Structure formats: C-alpha cells, structure tokens
Amino acid sequence: MNPTRYNKRWLSSVMMTMALALLLAACAPTQEAPSSQPATDSTTQQQTTDSSATTSGEQTTYPLTIKDATGQSFTFKEAPKRIVSISPAETEALFAIGLDQQIVGVSEYDDYPQQVSTKAKIGGISEPDVEAIVALNPDIVFTGISSSEELVKKLRASGITIFKTTPKTVDDVISNIQLYGQITNHQAQAKQVTDHMQEQVQMVKNAVSSVKAADKKNVYIEFSPGWTVGKGEFMDELITLAGGINIAGDNEGWYEINEENIVAADPDVILYSKESVDSKTNQSLDQIIRARSGWDKIKAIKTDQVFGLDDDLVSRPGPRVTDGLVEIAHALYPDLVKQ
C-alpha cells in the first residue's frame, strides 16, 4: 500500500512498508545473545525438531532452536533478558505476556500499553536508529510485518540479532504470541492471552453462524484514502470471520481502488479508519468517502451503515486483533454481536 503520509500512529508506516514489499540509553552490561545462522529453507517460523528444543509443561527447556519467518535459525541458550521491539504489534504482544522488565527499547510509533512511554525509543519502523539499538545491547530484537526483509538484512549486517514474523491470519498472530511465550519462558502468560483471543474468535463465529449465505453483508473497507485490502491479509480475514464478504476480496493484498467499481459493487457496509486524515485537505476519511461523486447512491451510505474502526485494533496483528474482530462483527451484525 502507498498512503500519502505518516499519521500520528504507526499504521501508515506499516502500509507503506507493505507496499514497498509488494509493489513493500545507556549501555548495559553485556548479555549473551542467542546465536543465529542461516537456515537451509525459508519457511515460516517453526521450532526445530530437536530434543534440546522441547518444553516441559509450561516451562521452556533451553537450549531452544527456532526459525523465524525469513528462514533464519536462532538458538536461545536462555530466556532473553534484554528485548527490543521495532513493531507496535510485537510490542503489544510482549507486554501482554508479562515482559515489561525485559523490554528495553521500542519504536517511536509504539503507544500501547501505557508502559511503553518509559522505554527507550529506537527511531521509526522503516528506518530505526541502528546505533540506538546497538547501545541498548539487546539479546534479541523482535519485529513483524511492519519491517521489510530488506530492513532485517540491513540490521543483521550491522550485527543486530533480529527475529521477524509475518502473520497473515489470526491463527498466525496467536501462534506468534505462543512462540514469544516459549522463547521467553512466559508460556503460562502467553496461554492466558491466546485462550482469551480464541474465545473471542469462537464467540463471533457462533454469533454469526446463523447468518445465511444469501444474507451475508457485502463490506468495503478503506484504511488510507483511496486504498483497500483484498485476500491474503489478516484484515480481509477479519471481515470473513465476522460473517461479511469483502467486496475487494477478488484481488490480493493492499491496492488502490477504482471508485466506480466500488459504486457498482454497492456494499451494504463501509468500514474506515478513524485516524486517517488527508494531509492536504485535513479531511477525515469519513468525509472523503461520503463526498465522492456517485457514492451517495451506495447502499451503505444511503442507510448510514458507515462505521469508523479503531485503527490499532484491526491493523496491528497483536493480542488486541480479536477485539478488532468483535468490533467489525458488531458493525455488521449489531443484533448478533455485542461489544
């Protein structure tokens, strides 16, 4: 995706990185970092099938060998003591499983939970400050979809040990949180988080299961002026899980819309980003959508089924993404799904 600017949150940075990929502190005492080496394949992150990488109950047994989404293999000799995150979604996940004391640095776009304000800032998402990261002496740096593989390679070339994930589904997000719990020996805390997420998913599925195929709402979603999302991204999956049909689902990934095609598709519901504002006109996305030529004929606008979403809940593949699912499902079927 290629939005026109960074807004006050991290979302625009994430989308710009996606487009480029598709189209995209004081020094602390030295801690022993996990060793990493290139893997022979480039599959998504997985635990190496090695007896040394097993877990016992809810305690991790070290050494633990894991691959990340780039195919890089990491061996953790112990739980990381100093962690840096350059992704708001990963930061939320790490805090959610109780790693406040271990987190020493976050990106300047990290704004949740409140404790992030006490952490050292290591710059932006697409161009973090390498020197600031090195100065924090992290055992591991975590990042997700907000960082391109090119950036990861650059940071690794600077001697930074960086672990990347690329979640595309809600199940991927849940698996990554479980993985962070395993790496950090916070498995019990991770299970609490993921159990709640799975309960929310099941609640929504149960609530919308009575909606017949012919009655499913056709949905259009816009998260930056003139851009929508198709299949292959977790935001598309959220619409599907919520019992809707994404009218942009015939295409893949983030892409620029054809306004006439949206009018022709005549969605029942329009979802948009509450935070997105046009940098030139200072108009909100809601204002932009409603003012487009011919869009007043769209069913969603005629019936006032146009809903702003909390950007962070539905755009960050972290522990609150299932809160975003509930928000979307409530917008589509308020009588079936309560918030």
Strands (E), the chain: 35-38, 46-47, 55-56, 59-60, 64-67, 72-76, 83-85, 103-106, 120-121, 140-143, 162-164, 217-222, 227-229, 244-246, 254-256, 269-273, 306-309
**Residues 168, 116, 170: CA angle, nearest 5 degrees:** 15
At residue 208, the 3 state secondary structure works out as helix
Q: What single-letter DSSP state applies at residue 338?
A: -
Identify the pLDDT of residue 339.
Answer: 83
φ, ψ for residue 207 (rounded to 5)? -65, -35
**Do 106 and 85 touch, CB atoms closer than 8 A?**
yes
Identify the pLDDT of residue 126.
Answer: 87
Identify the pLDDT of residue 107.
Answer: 95
At residue 268, the 3 state secondary structure works out as coil
Identify the pLDDT of residue 36.
Answer: 55
**Do 89 and 148 touch, CB atoms closer than 8 A?**
no
Distance CA 315, CA 188 (A): 26
Identify the pLDDT of residue 241.
Answer: 98
Torsion angle in degrees (nearest 10) through CA of 96, 27, 141, 309:
50
Token pair recorded at residue 192: 């609490």
Identify the pLDDT of residue 14.
Answer: 44
Distance CA 170, CA 173 (A): 5
Distance CA 304, CA 313 (A): 23
Identify the pLDDT of residue 279.
Answer: 83
Task: Kindly tell me the sign of the dihedral angle through the C-alpha atoms of 224, 228, 232, 237.
Answer: positive
Chain-centre distance of CA 335, in angstroms?
A: 28
Distance CA 204, CA 242 (A): 6
Task: Kindly tell me the sign of the dihedral angle through the C-alpha atoms of 265, 271, 275, 281.
Answer: positive
Q: pLDDT below 70 — which residues of the chain?
A: 1-57
Distance CA 94, CA 90 (A): 6
Upper half-sphere CA count for residue 213 (Cβ side, 13 Å) = 0
Hey, what amino acid is at 52?
S
Residue partners of 171: CB distance under 8 A and separation at least 6:
none
Look at residues 233, 10, 253 and name the one whose alpha carbon lies nearest to residue 111: 10
Identify the pLDDT of residue 35.
Answer: 57
Paired sense of beta strands 227-229 and 244-246, if any: unpaired
Residue found by looking up tokens 């040990």 in the block:
161
- The gap between the terminal CA atoms of the chain, to the nearest Å, is 30
Q: At what angle do helices 234-241 and 321-332 cross, to 10 degrees?
A: 50
Look at residues 35, 37, 93 and name the one whose alpha carbon lies nearest to residue 64: 35
Q: What single-letter DSSP state applies at residue 269?
A: E
DSSP lists the bridge partners of residue 36 as: 74
**Do 72 and 298 touch, CB atoms closer than 8 A?**
no
